[in-house]
């Protein structure tokens, strides 16, 4: 809720500005919040320079909450990372798709659009440049989780690129001398406790025993605390991250287990427990043997499963609720035999399902350097062209004004550092 102190300041500013014909401040404060929260990001930053009243409004935590609610339906952004060599620098940038406009006609049914709909060779905002090898974990409510890969001592960081804030998470104290961290992690938000949590996985083993003695262990960190909690007997995820894996307070993974019942797992951020998610009923061993790639994500607020079948079909299944039961339904299927110039292995990196007036489009990364949008309704592709010079990873992102200090609800002493857009950020350490 907006503080009384801020409302008193607004009332005083209103009476001061009436003589200068500034009638927008005569509107109810809640309406002012609604109007400001629906503006483009660049316009919001410009509004901070209008007067001290706008500045106070836009820096109030209540505005951040209102903006986040509206941004989830009005803002479509991507964060992409370019890696220059295995040990080279990493450039991270944000692309606001709302600022990008299509100018060329759409392709017709069952044809691949060869032209570029709009240029995206330059990002809208380059928010940081890291010399260390950092990787994207995920985005949640405008906060981005990054990690620096290291088998024995990985480093995790959470930042808000819009506010230029970041914090380094504490290193855990290993409970066993024989362990190795996996390059799999998750980042999400618990709606009930209002806590942000990072989940990472490690393998512990006994060197005196066989390979079968290895076990997967999860470690959970709550933003604002100084420790990691250990959870035994965690399922081991497959190599590679899920796309848009956070849904309804849980993170989701595809496991490395061969049996269909153990294929998908979820981690509830409130109870901090893993549980199995039943796959589609037709997923028997014979069917699974014909799947060359599989991933899990979210689509229109439902859990979805994407996979490549027999090397030529890209299938998308969605888990929907039918009364008290949940069932999988086939949302759409892309048969690459109908699209010249496209191969299934080129589009095995879905990013997010973007809602629009045409029924929505699936955004995919093609060949690690270009973006492709597929419309299930029109059965057409839009090729946005190459935008990267090096190996690229992309995640969906909703920009917000949530401060890290406000996100750390369990502590008001979170150590938050600042960086500037486009400036060099180095030596990320405690």
- Quote the pLDDT of residue 408: 92
The secondary element (H helix, E strand) that includes residue 81 is: strand 77-83
As a whole number, mean pLDDT of residues 290-300 equals 88
Most confident of the following: 94-98, 213-217, 244-248, 288-292: 288-292
Query: For residues 172 and 423, which has the higher predicted lDDT (pLDDT)?
Result: 172
Calculate Rg over the CA atoms of the chain: 23
Residue 348: its pLDDT value, please? 67
Element (H, E) at 9: helix 4-17
Calpha distance 11→321 (Å, rounded)? 48
The more confident residue out of 196 and 426 is 196
pLDDT in tens, 81-99: 776 666 555 677 777 776 6
Mean pLDDT for the stretch of residues 378-396: 75
pLDDT of amino acid 323: 62
pLDDT-above-90 percentage for the chain: 25
CB 103 within 8 A of CB 118: yes
Sign of the CA dihedral 360, 92, 99, 49?
positive
Which candidate, 280, 284, 285, 334, places its Cα nearest to that of 311? 334
Q: Are 150 and 387 in contact (CB under 8 A)?
A: no
Who wins on pLDDT, 96 or 56?
56
Give the tokens for residue 185.
């992690």
Task: Flag the least confident range among 58-67, 174-183, 317-326, 355-364.
Answer: 174-183
pLDDT at residue 225, as a whole number = 93
Give the pLDDT confidence score for residue 24 in this predicted structure: 73
CB atoms near residue 285 (< 10 Å): 9
Quote the strand ranges of 84-123, DSSP E.
90-96, 112-116
Residue 332: alpha-carbon gap to chain centroid: 23
* Span 14-37, average pLDDT: 70
272 band by pLDDT with thresholds 50, 70 and 90: very high
- pTM for the complete prediction? 0.84
Joined tokens for residue 147: 């990690």
Q: Output the pLDDT for position 176.
A: 65
Q: Are 44 and 60 in contact (CB under 8 A)?
A: no
Nearest partner of 8 among 49, 53, 51, judged by Cα? 53
pLDDT score at 106: 38
| Strand pairing report for 77-83 and 391-397 | antiparallel
Cα separation, 332 vs 376, in Å, equals 6
pLDDT greater at residue 178 or residue 36: 36
pLDDT in tens, 110-158: 333 332 233 333 455 555 545 466 788 899 999 999 888 776 678 899 9
Separation CA 397–CA 139 (nearest Å): 6
For residue 338 the two structure tokens come to 């109908």
Position 78 scores a pLDDT of: 83
Cβ atoms of residues 368 and 388 within 8 Å = yes
Mean pLDDT for 78-82 is 78
Q: For the segment 152-209, what is each residue's pLDDT rounded down to a tens digit? A: 678 899 999 888 899 999 987 766 666 777 778 899 999 999 999 999 888 877 766 6
pLDDT for the residue numbered 339? 74
Higher pLDDT, 342 or 216: 216
CA dist 246 and 262 (Å) reads 19
Please give the order of strands across the beta sheet that includes 155-160: 134-140, 143-148, 155-160, 165-168, 417-418
């Amino acid at each position: 809720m907006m503080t009384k102190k801020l409302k008193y300041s607004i009332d005083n500013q209103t009476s001061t500005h009436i003589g200068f014909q500034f009638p927008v401040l005569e509107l109810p404060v809640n309406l002012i919040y609604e109007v400001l929260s629906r503006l483009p990001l660049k316009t919001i930053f410009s509004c901070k320079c209008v007067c001290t009243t706008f500045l106070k409004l836009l820096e109030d935590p209540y505005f951040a909450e209102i903006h986040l609610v509206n941004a989830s339906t009005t803002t479509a952004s991507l964060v992409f990372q370019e890696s220059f060599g295995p040990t080279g620098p990493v450039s991270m940038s944000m692309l606001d798709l709302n600022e990008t406009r299509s100018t060329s006609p759409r392709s017709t049914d069952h044809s691949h659009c060869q032209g570029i709909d709009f240029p995206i060779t330059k990002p809208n905002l380059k928010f940081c440049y890291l010399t260390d090898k950092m990787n994207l974990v995920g985005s949640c409510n405008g906060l981005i989780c990054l990690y620096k890969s290291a088998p024995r001592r990985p480093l995790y960081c959470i930042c808000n690129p819009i506010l230029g804030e970041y914090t380094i998470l504490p290193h855990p104290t290993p409970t066993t001398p024989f362990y190795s961290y996996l390059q799999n992690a998750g980042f999400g938000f618990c709606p009930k406790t209002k806590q942000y949590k990072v989940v990472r996985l490690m393998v512990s083993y006994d060197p005196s025993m066989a390979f079968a003695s290895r076990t997967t262990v999860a470690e959970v960190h709550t933003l604002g605390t100084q420790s990691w909690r250990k959870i035994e007997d965690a399922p081991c995820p497959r190599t590679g991250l899920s796309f848009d894996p956070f849904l309804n307070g849980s993170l989701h993974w595809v496991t490395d287990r061969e049996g269909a019942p153990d294929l998908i797992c979820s981690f509830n951020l409130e109870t901090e427990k893993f549980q199995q998610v039943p796959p589609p009923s037709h997923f028997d061993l014979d069917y699974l043997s014909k799947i060359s790639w599989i991933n899990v994500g979210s689509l229109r607020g439902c859990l979805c499963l994407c996979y490549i079948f027999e090397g030529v079909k890209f299938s998308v299944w969605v888990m929907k609720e039918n009364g008290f039961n949940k069932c999988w339904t086939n949302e759409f299927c892309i048969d690459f035999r109908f699209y010249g110039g496209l191969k299934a292995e080129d589009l095995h990196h879905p990013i997010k399902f973007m809602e629009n007036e045409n029924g929505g489009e699936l955004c995919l990364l093609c060949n690690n350097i270009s973006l492709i949008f597929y419309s299930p309704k029109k059965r057409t592709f839009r090729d946005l062209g190459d935008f990267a010079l090096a190996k690229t990873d992309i995640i969906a992102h909703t920009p917000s004004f949530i401060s890290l200090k406000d996100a750390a609800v369990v502590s008001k002493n979170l150590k938050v550092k600042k960086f500037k857009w486009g400036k060099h950020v180095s030596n990320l350490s405690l």
